[in-house]
Structure 1
Amino acid sequence: MRKMLVTSVVLVLVACGAKVDKGTRPLYEVLTQQEQGGAQVRFFEILTEEKEINMLLGDENLKDKIKPADINTANFVILNLGEQTSGGHTVAVEKVEELPDKIVITVKESHPGPGEMATSVMSYPYAIVRVNSKKPIEIKD
């Protein structure tokens, strides 16, 4: 009995001192990328303030992808391509670089080429990106 008690205590002490690697978050994550649902005008917006980020918490597509704690650890970027006369248009992140003083996001727009098949319905492409840093963000397109 005594040996079992000593073994249990040792196991508890070892477990309490163990380091758990929770993994590191990637620099950025595309939370959603849609062909419908964006705004009518083309714009890129960086959300850094609590009240701006709280707006995203209420979005049906994002509610399970954003945590309230992200307000303190991340910034968000809305990439909106604006109204397009057909389908087949996308806006995406091409590259994200972390520099000592800022994060630089390069945006890539894709459009159907001449003669390519595309739906003949208006589209409003957009993407929302979480940047797991509070450094200032610069967007290049």
Structure 2
Amino acid sequence: MKKLATLAVTLLLFSCNTGKKVVSNESAPEFKVLTVSEYKGKEKKMYEVIQNEAQLKALYAAVEDPEVPTIDFKKSRIVALFLGEKNSGGYGIAVDKVTEKDNVVWVTVKETKPAAGEMSTMAITRPFTIVKIHTTKPIEFK
């Protein structure tokens, strides 16, 4: 009888579902880095979202790159990240991650700089990164 009671209590405990379901409306659109350089970026720090061929050609002309990629703007957008002018090398800017939440694509930007005492190029640099994101939804930065 004692075994039967223990079995009944055990079954009762296992049948209770106390776990919470976590529902997330966050996803991660695919992205691809197209161009990265420490030179030929813009003088001021800025982020740009490119939505058509004319803007893309203007962007690649501004960074003096003659090889403009072919982009299907019905499916993708281009993000250009400019760190601005720096007085030495060792600086960089990149996409850390891309997420989608509440119908908005969020691009998390990561900036790098030389560590204290680290040797770096003594030249004026203007780091930038150009990334293709597989989305047509609004893009915001953080």
User: How far did residue 98 of structure 1 move?
Assistant: 2.1
Taking the TM superposition and a 5 Å limit, the aligned residue runs for 1:50-89 are 50-56=53-59, 60=65, 62-63=67-68, 66-68=69-71, 70-89=72-91
Taking the TM superposition and a 5 Å limit, the aligned residue runs for 1:1-141 are 27-56=30-59, 60=65, 62-63=67-68, 66-68=69-71, 70-140=72-142
The answer to whether the 8 A contact 1:33-1:128 is kept is yes
Q: TM-score, normalised by structure 2?
A: 0.71
Which structure's CA Rg is the greater one?
2
Aligned length: 112
After the TM superposition, which segments of 4 or more aligned residues of structure 1 sit over 4 Å from their partners? 56-59
Query: 2:35 and 2:113 mapped to 1: Cα distance?
Result: 19
Q: TM-score, normalised by structure 1?
A: 0.71
2:70 match: secondary structure: coil
Matched-pair identity in %: 36
Unaligned segments of structure 1, at least 5 residues: 1-25
After superposition, the CA RMSD in angstroms is 1.9
